[in-house]
Structure 1
Amino acid sequence: MKYATQDATLSFAKRFSNYKDFYYKYDNLVFSKLGIGTFNKEPYKEENYVFHYIEGVKQAIRSGINLIDTASNYRYGESEKEIGEALRELGDEAKREELIICSKGGFIQLDYPFPKNPYTWIEDNIIKAGLAKAEDIELDQHCMTPDFLEYSCRRSLKNLGVEALDIYYLHNPEMQMIKLGEKEFYKQIEKIFKRFEKLADEGLFQSYGVAVWSGFTSEREELLSLERLVEIAKKVGGENHRFKYIQLPFNMGKTAAYTQMTQKVSNEACTIIQAAYRLKIGVITSSSLLQMNLFKNSFKAETGVILDNTMTLKTDIQLALQFVRSTPGIISSLFGSKVPVHIKENSEIAKVKSVKREKYDLLYRL
């Protein structure tokens, strides 16, 4: 089987019967409430190319995490390759159909080792190859022509060593909203979604989505309308379209997805999480630890009591993950770590129940 399945993901979850409400069923798949991410900042640093994530990915799966997230440009493809290596090393310990594997396309991946002249690389590998024109590339790094995105998807599959993905995201499209203008931007989205439906028909992925940094919560011109995206998906794919997911950052320091009414559905203002619920789109969140910037000061004692009155959780990192894991309307939340012992420690939150809605909302009053 080349995709995750309901029976296999459920079977995976049952192996961790001591976990407390740590699994969530959505779109006929069972997701772990935490997912492992493989983004590493400052990609030009040489140490970011050293194989880091193999043992981390293996530990995440052994700890009950079955959602694995990456992108074609993360460390210029090395993150994808390391996930593939981890899956090969696990062998029969983890079946492909138990795991929900996601990648993204939109940023130009380049190569490892980093090319001496990236502009020449782009000219030779993207423009001359007919994947895009020079004017399609924003800031020398972002491209979202259908041909380039298909190329990126196929390259991701090769890097990962899998036949198909479960979710393929259009990565940070808001980067091109201002340049294209709203009318042309959504015309481009229609072309992309049409190609994505075709690639789903061909078996490259089960579902597709849109992953943003600020696109769904921005107060500037780059704001995307989820309702409009769904309308486009229905136009090109019908009622059974494969646009099923969005991904956006959410953490204790960046709560706009839950608190700010940046979207409209049927002309009624709502948060992006509410909009996704009404439009039947699954929400997966990223940057759960804000790249470790949440921990410059210790959390308030009241925060710890609300998130875990059993006093089981010992660290602020665990509390931060308990916060995102408990947020209503979110399928799963991603965190990044390369260190197996840290991943095992973070997964301990699965032994504590998530916070009920009435208690969770108290956190916003502290």
Structure 2
Amino acid sequence: MISGYATYKDTVNYLDRNRIVNSETEWFSFSPIAIGTHLGNMDETDSRLYQTSIEYGLKNGINYIDTAINYRGMRSERDLGVVLSRLINEKKLIKRSEIVISSKAGLIPGDIDAKLIPTEYLQKILLEGGIIKQSDLNIVEHHRHVLVPSYYEFAIEKSKMHLGLDTIDIYYIHNPEISLKVVGPEVFYEKLKMLFISFEEQVSKGNIQYYGLATWSGLLCNPSEAGYISLEKVVNVLKEAIGDDHHFKFIQCPYNSYMDEAKTRKNQEVNRESYSVLEAAQKLGLTVVTSAPFNLGKLIHEGENPYKILLSILHDPFIHSVMVGMKNVEHVIKNMELIRKSSSPIE
């Protein structure tokens, strides 16, 4: 296992050394473009592509990689772990303290290497293994989601093993709005409180550094809609459970020209004033990273210029980093030109 975690000093030095624009937080700095690992086939071909792209990015200036236990049947985490071991342990080309790794859990995953689809993983590993109970499951259409701390403790250990890391820098509750739709707001925020307490224990054990919410529609929809998450209520619950000395620092949500609600919809209330998600997060001291810049590839298929799309997001001062799925190294090379200091158009 690789010891250590991202530090402010070493992440800043890494970005400066590689002439990358610094997206700074109080805790560490990361590249304004991150490599996302969501899409792709669960096969050796795409694993090789991802490993090549991630290795190039980490060697040349991208120091933020985002993944999740359910991505590509656990292959995305495992592919990232292969690269981290190669670059940090074997070749010693980067230091653990220079890079930021985020992962997430909440959705029931499958395990392609064990030949278990999600329903089989749920039964054979989680239910029969006593990790969760049937009553912990919240099901919306084909999505199976849980909020019970025992599952996240299990998932964090699995993710650490896949990644080969002692500590994951940012750990997200993945798409919590799925459970919210089933259990309702009152139960949801009470379960969130228990999760926050559990995550603080994970921080004290050194398994994670910080945590947050990675949502799809929950932060973006109207307050009257099922699955709506109030950031102010989340923070109030957090402070009630933990106090001000907490490690809930990040939120992740989609943002693109089709799904622009994070910037345009004033659906979040803070101190009785209405704000967008991006504005509310700043008011509440949370760092925002965004996902799905190309609307899961649909914008590119419709002929939109991907670099113009990224530039429009990179110009937004409320967005610290954008997750871009890049399993082709050519895309990594081109996208990195947008964030290099020497010719950076976002400075």
Tell me, in whole angstroms, the C-alpha distance in 1 between the residues paired with 2:132 and 2:163: 24
Alignment of 1:1-366 (within 5 A): 2-17=4-19, 19=20, 22-40=21-39, 50-90=47-87, 91-113=91-113, 115=115, 118-139=118-139, 141-219=144-222, 220-299=225-304, 316-351=305-340, 352-354=343-345
Assess, with a 3 A threshold, how the Cα gap between structure 1 residues 89 and 293 changes in structure 2: closer, same or farther. same
Assess, with a 3 A threshold, how the Cα gap between structure 1 residues 320 and 49 changes in structure 2: closer, same or farther. closer
Tell me, in whole angstroms, the C-alpha distance in 1 between the residues paired with 2:85 and 2:280: 39
Tell me, in whole angstroms, the C-alpha distance in 1 between the residues paired with 2:173 and 2:242: 16
Q: Deviations over 1:241-295 (max 9, x none)?
A: 0000000011233211011111000111100011000000100111122222112
Comparing 139-148 with 342-351, which one deviates more in the overlay? 139-148
Assess, with a 3 A threshold, how the Cα gap between structure 1 residues 117 and 275 changes in structure 2: closer, same or farther. closer
Q: Deviations over 1:197-242 (max 9, x none)?
A: 1111111111000000011011222110111111122122221100
The number of residue pairs the alignment matches comes to 335
Question: Following superposition, which runs of at least 4 residues in structure 1 exceed 6 angstroms of deviation?
Answer: none
SS of structure 2 residue aligned to 1:285: strand
CA-CA distance at 1:40 after TM superposition? 1.1
Q: Deviations over 1:282-326 (max 9, x none)?
A: 001111222221124445xxxxxxxxxxxxxxxx21211111111
Q: Which one-letter code corresponds to 2:168 in the other structure? A: L
Say whether the 8 Å CA contact 2:108–2:118 is kept in structure 1.
no
CA-CA distance at 1:333 after TM superposition? 0.6
Say whether the 8 Å CA contact 2:338–2:346 is kept in structure 1.
no
Assess, with a 3 A threshold, how the Cα gap between structure 1 residues 78 and 296 changes in structure 2: closer, same or farther. closer
Q: Which one-letter code corresponds to 2:26 in the other structure? A: D
Tell me, in whole angstroms, the C-alpha distance in 2 between the residues paired with 1:181 and 1:191: 16
Tell me, in whole angstroms, the C-alpha distance in 1 between the residues paired with 2:93 and 2:46: 27
Comparing 115-124 with 104-113, which one deviates more in the overlay? 115-124
Assess, with a 3 A threshold, how the Cα gap between structure 1 residues 161 and 271 changes in structure 2: closer, same or farther. same
Say whether the 8 Å CA contact 2:110–2:116 is kept in structure 1.
no
Say whether the 8 Å CA contact 1:84–1:159 is kept in structure 2.
yes
Comparing 122-131 with 196-205, which one deviates more in the overlay? 122-131
Q: Which one-letter code corresponds to 1:318 in the other structure? A: Y
CA-CA distance at 1:124 after TM superposition? 2.6
Say whether the 8 Å CA contact 1:52–1:82 is kept in structure 2.
no
Where structure 2 has 5 or more consecutive residues not aligned to the other structure, the ranges are none
Say whether the 8 Å CA contact 1:317–1:346 is kept in structure 2.
no
Q: Deviations over 1:12-66 (max 9, x none)?
A: 011123x4xx21110231111111110015x6x6578744311110111133111
Tell me, in whole angstroms, the C-alpha distance in 2 between the residues paired with 1:116 and 1:159: 16
Tell me, in whole angstroms, the C-alpha distance in 1 between the residues paired with 2:205 and 2:323: 28
Q: Deviations over 1:129-164 (max 9, x none)?
A: 222211222336322210001100110000000110
Bigger Rg, which one: 1
Tell me, in whole angstroms, the C-alpha distance in 1 between the residues paired with 2:295 and 2:105: 22
Assess, with a 3 A threshold, how the Cα gap between structure 1 residues 12 and 31 changes in structure 2: closer, same or farther. same
CA-CA distance at 1:79 after TM superposition? 0.4
SS of structure 2 residue aligned to 1:92: coil
Say whether the 8 Å CA contact 2:173–2:214 is kept in structure 1.
yes
Q: Which one-letter code corresponds to 1:12 in the other structure? A: Y
Tell me, in whole angstroms, the C-alpha distance in 2 between the residues paired with 1:117 and 1:68: 25
Assess, with a 3 A threshold, how the Cα gap between structure 1 residues 49 and 107 changes in structure 2: closer, same or farther. farther
Assess, with a 3 A threshold, how the Cα gap between structure 1 residues 212 and 92 changes in structure 2: closer, same or farther. same
Tell me, in whole angstroms, the C-alpha distance in 2 between the residues paired with 1:34 and 1:86: 19
Q: Which one-letter code corresponds to 1:62 in the other structure? A: K
Normalised to the residue count of structure 1, the TM-score between the two structures is: 0.86
Tell me, in whole angstroms, the C-alpha distance in 1 between the residues paired with 2:202 and 2:49: 31
Say whether the 8 Å CA contact 2:47–2:79 is kept in structure 1.
no
